Amino acid sequence: MPDVFINRIATANPPHDVHDSFLRFGQHMLRADHRRLAMFNRMADRSAIAHRYSFVQPDPGGAVTDVEDFYRPGAFPDTAARMKKFEACAPRLAVETVEKLLQGEDRSRITHVIVTSCTGFSAPGIDLSRARIVWEARDQDPVFGKTFSFAPEHRGPQWLEAETQLPDGRRIFAVTNLTAK
């Protein structure tokens, strides 16, 4: 098997910083239960997350959760719907990242693009529905499954890796980094 190298890496974020909107929404939903509200606020504080980015634009007026009505109180989208949304938006993020990475350069040599985030990952053109995925993150035990969620145990640099084995034996590896504050 030939040696494979990563020559360059670039990053990009979805356009909307939704962290403050997320906190306000959670606090609004729990406002009648003081114990649960206190627990939510403590968890939010201990998560040390300062920013959370999304393609889902928060409603600036706060009347609904987002301008697309994707997250509807009492009818939140399930994991499959969220992953479908991610897979639809991920290519735009990949294009933005590639533009940063290869400004003015020939793109004909690019053979694979993998988009990874704390939501999941997507490899456009590759069917991941029957893949076996193992997730690993800083201070976490490895987990098998289509999705993975974790709360950082420590402030500072974090990493998240996903290794996928396709039914034909090929493997895809993706990594993302974030900082918990």
Number of helical (H) and strand (E) elements in the chain, helices listed first: 3, 8
pLDDT, position 165: 84
6 falls within a domain = no
Give me the pLDDT at residue 40, please: 93
Angle 150-47-120 (CA atoms, 0-180°, nearest 5)? 30
In a domain, 2, yes or no: no
Cα–Cα distance, 86 to 55 (Å, whole number):
8
Average pLDDT over residues 48-52: 83
How far is residue 65's CA from residue 73's CA, in Å, rounded to a whole number?
Answer: 8
* Domain shared by 83 and 166, yes or no: yes
User: How much helix, strand and coil, in percent to the nearest 5, is found in the chain?
Assistant: 25, 20, 50
Percent of the chain with pLDDT over 90: 7
Please tell me whether residues 49 and 91 are part of one structural domain.
Answer: no
Q: Is residue 69 domain-shared with residue 48, that is, in the same domain?
A: yes
The pLDDT tens digits of the residues spanning 133-175 come to 888 888 888 888 877 777 777 788 888 888 888 888 877 777 7
Give the C-alpha separation, 177 to 117, whole Å. 8
Mean pLDDT score, 44-59? 85
Maximum separation of any 2 CA atoms in the chain, in Å: 60
Do residues 96 and 36 both lie within one domain? no
pLDDT tens digit sequence for 17-29: 988 888 888 898 8
Q: Which pLDDT tens digit goes with each residue over 54-87?
A: 888 988 876 567 888 888 878 888 878 887 887 7
Give the CATH number, domain containing residue 114.
2.60.40.10
Give the domain extent around 57. Answer: 13-76
Do residues 26 and 44 touch, judged by C-beta distance below 8 A?
A: yes
| pLDDT digits 0-9 by tens, 84-143 | 887 788 778 878 877 887 777 777 766 666 666 655 666 666 777 888 888 888 888 888
pLDDT for position 2: 63
